[in-house]
Structure 1
Amino acid sequence: MKTIKTIIFDLGGVLIDWNPEYVYLEVFNGNREKMQWFFDIVCTHDWNENQDAGYPLAKATEERIALFPEHEELIRMFYGRWEEMLGGAIEGTVEILKNLVDSKQFQVVALTNWSHETFPIALKTFDFLHWFEGIIVSGEEKTRKPFEDIYEMTLSRFNIEANHALFIDDNLRNIKAAKEMGINTIHFESPENLEVELKSFGINF
């Protein structure tokens, strides 16, 4: 069994529940089909991820409005009501994080795809974000997962040995990229599953 010295947490979908549906499902009067069309065609996942890599929110918004002027009001909501898309902490994972930090057995850091413009809101909202030794925020670094450079940056900045690190993320694409870097991984599905997976690495609390 490999000795794990560092645990790297993703944030959104692992520790923090963020979902644009919290705004748009109401806006579309519960019509999931119309809402999904909007996410597939107008404010897409790829478009939002571009802002996670540091692209300015205001510029991205105006460019999208230029493409879809008939949806201007809906497009402005995406970042205008971004805070309402925060659904709260995923408490089971927060408890696991606390136990890992309190054990003082591991270096615990975070690596997140997140706009540098909205991340300060999360820092004010969630106290547990201040428990980490450090956080790599993609928007601040002008790159994002799953690109190799952000993993290299994380390893270098915190003096992490890849084979002694364990990366937790809910996105399989990001997990695959970390594995290719020689980092041990857990694909996050639920706090309960995470606890089981951590035990498989000999991590008990």
Structure 2
Amino acid sequence: MVSQNAAFCRRGLTLIELLVVVAIIALLVALLLPVVKYARKRGYEATCISNLRQLSAAWQLYTEDYKDYPATLIDTLPYTKSREIYKCPGDFTEGANDVLTRIAGFPISYYNPPEDDPPHTMFRTRLREDPNHGVIVCVLHGERVFNLPPIGQPVNWTGRVFRALHTGSVRIVHVAPRCYLPPTGGLIRARDWELFSDMPCPRDACPERYEMQEAPCF
């Protein structure tokens, strides 16, 4: 009897038993992976919202001191004293806003209203038309249109946009690109205005939209 028990204890797992254990582990991983991914995504979003609020406060301080709007986010650096808040934790590149990243020399993920001529014409129009306009946005929480390089262009992302308002609060909005057919042919994707405002772009700020035919994006 003792020898039989010892032999039973020394017996290893059969192939069937091993496969069952592996299948159970794989099932548990499959069940837990979406939960872990969702929790990580929520953590990225919370940090991004915090960054946007701090940048919005720096934007307001600059505006109060200079009686004008910053030309770019780089101008707010003296008011933040931190380069880390300029990068979204969901940005796995060297700075999704590749233009400002090259100028600043450190990663920048966020976008401010584009510069125009004369300066801030569209921004002042947006302020006049929409008192709840945004000043800084993050597009990285949406979905990338993979066939449109480079990665850093805001029009190459669709879906969720984190919009920091001039009041310091952050709104999550859904913004899809809008496409137009220019007289010269091709397809123009545009949504700069929609990133920062829910109101329709007025003619004096977006005259080209009233001169071109809107078309489905593809």
| Same fold flag (TM > 0.5) | no
* Bigger Cα Rg: 2
Structure with bigger RCO (C-alpha 8 Å, 6+ apart): 1
TM-score by length of 1: 0.26
TM-score by length of 2: 0.25
Structure with the higher fraction of residues in helix conformation: 1
